[in-house]
Structure 1
Amino acid sequence: MDFGFSAQDQAFRAEARAWLTEHASGGLDRRSWERALGKGGWIGLGWAEGGYGNRTATLTQQVAWAEEYARSCAPPRSGHIGENLLAPTLLAHGTPEQKGRFLPAIAAGDELWCQGYSEPGAGSDLAGIRTKAERAGDGTYRVTGQKIWTSLAREADWCFVLARTDPGSSRHRGLSFLLVPMDQPGRIEVRPIRQMTGTSEFNEVFFDGAHARVEHVVGGEGAGWRVAMSLLGFERGVSTLAQQIGFAAELGRVVRAAVDSGAVGDPVVRDRLVRQWAELRVMRWNALRTLGSSGDAGASSVAKLLWGGWHQRLGELALQVRGAAAGVGPVDWSVTAPYELDAFQNLFLFSRADTIYGGSDQVQRTIIAERVLGLPKEPKGVV
């Protein structure tokens, strides 16, 4: 596939840049910003089928929008889980009624979503989940269990939950993909998880008999594993290219810090900076290549391995160019106020999780080995 940008694409890019320049600095809270994006027609650019999205955009134009958004330093998105994960899943597996109910609300920025996958005892081993959903007599399920590392759970209106609907099942069988409303006091509790950066983007979510309607099971009862794996496949592509714009900005700041501190005079540091730049270029071309492919079972795993390790190494390099100063800073160690981190310290600490969340490196390598290279599976129970 030729992934060049046409004159029409460049005109679309210019329109996106102008809109973001005008609106991105408006000081809106995150939910109001989502509604502004929806009103402007910028959510759901790839959903032309069925009229569920906003404006129509080709794949190259979606890339242009994602890159301009990243460059504009616009507010962080609260709606990306609904737009980039749930919506494509509904388009692929949802009923007409499910699409009509949920997609317009996502496109308008009116409803925010979170993802209920990982559990304390089943993080990377998604097939080992224990959250259960029991069929009730009133046309609903009762969901009971615990999810963890749930991004945006405190803001979300809905959560898509992978739960076990067949009590006698195990592993990949007997799972269902349910759409659960979060506004259920007494039945759903959200607890923030304080990270070593001092922030709490992630949460624990406890379901205690939470209601989910039978018609809100995506793909049918028992098809949860197939739907869940389909959703994970959408975590690459256009969003990966936008992520790389942010990576490039971080790398630029590290390079400037190396020049300012004199660390760039060290040939080892200089070599690492050049390697980071070259690897980022490789990631971009790999992402562009895989956008034009179809059915590549290992593409998302390769992409995750590339960017997870790269970003973690960038965090290490950010502290190296700072030298001893990286260990100190605007820090308040009193018990009454949380300590503060500068940008490089935050980058280093947060990037430690890059090779774990979204599928650990070990899991990605197993997927490539077994599903792409056809290597024999590891014997169960072997440590």
Structure 2
Amino acid sequence: MTVTTPVSGGSFRSYDVVVGHGLLAEAGSRIAAFARGRTLVITDETVSAIHGATLLQALGSAGLQAELIAVPAGEASKSFAQLEWVIDRMLSFGLDRRDVVVALGGGVVGDLAGLAAALFMRGIDFIQVPTTLLAQVDSSVGGKTAIDTPRGKNLVGAFHQPRLVLADIGVLATLPPRQLRSGWAEVIKHGLLADADFFDWLEGEGAAGADGDPSALERAVVRSVEIKSAIVGEDEKEAGRRALLNLGHTFGHALEAELDFDEERLTHGEAVALGCAMALRFSARQGFCATADADRAEAVLAAAHLPTRLEQAGEFSAAALIGRMAGDKKAEGGRLTLILARSIGDAFVERDVDPTVLGAFLREEGAAA
């Protein structure tokens, strides 16, 4: 089965997110509809070895002139140095405004390739072919592109919507279990922030998706894309409602930054899972939601073998975490902003969070002063 979800909004050109099996092998004919000149595939070294040849063959079979370049795998490639290298390769290949960039890989590749496409000649078309669960349900949809700096994650970037997203469920079978579970954290996040019925399914039979069940994965990807596309269509540039998609991310990004983005210690998805659990517990402590909702969220995350407690990630200082959170993109004038919940499926933006209250909560969670 192939499911197509349109993403549309008043401020950007609409595009389709196609979810199904075998899409990588047939990607050439779909991409050919947008490629008027050359096609540059940007990927990482790990994905290139697994899926690069399949995509190049598909593009060649469709009569497209294609090149492939690969950056090192991992978060470290979301850097000014790699962005400069990618853009230099684009220039050396003689790309112009008729040409298309294809991002083949996970969120790192999608962010890097998307930002390069946004900057090159003030913007050329790009297509997302996400190969990780996290990218399929989250980062490939919505047009956010960015690189990291030593001061924080995703602080330099642009909104640049793709022309097409092809999410092949079959490629998820090549993921290591830990990476699959990291993507599942974003699936659970969507249920927590916007769809209580979806969360109920994730709590029950849908939980099989965390272990790689193809049917559960397909339903989870489709519903996650529907949730995200509806929100993005209302608020492309995060002026309001789109901020809800950052549930768990303010806590999570602070944890990642304190660990120097070391994915061996904490993947992005694991940071989001822990951040979601903390956001629900903070919501309960502030009286916004029932303690039972926070407990349910923690139980579903833990059942997927995701971290839910601070000590599972390392040792942290409350002051250092608050400092990181004050530098988050959602913060305004240094004021702390968190995405919290009134109940499962009903998230909201809480602005100007009291740092004293937050510090006390972090110490209760196990952070040092």
Return the TM-score normalized by structure 1: 0.26
- Structure number, greater radius of gyration: 1
Higher strand share: 2
Structure of higher RCO (CA pairs closer than 8 Å, 6+ residues apart): 2
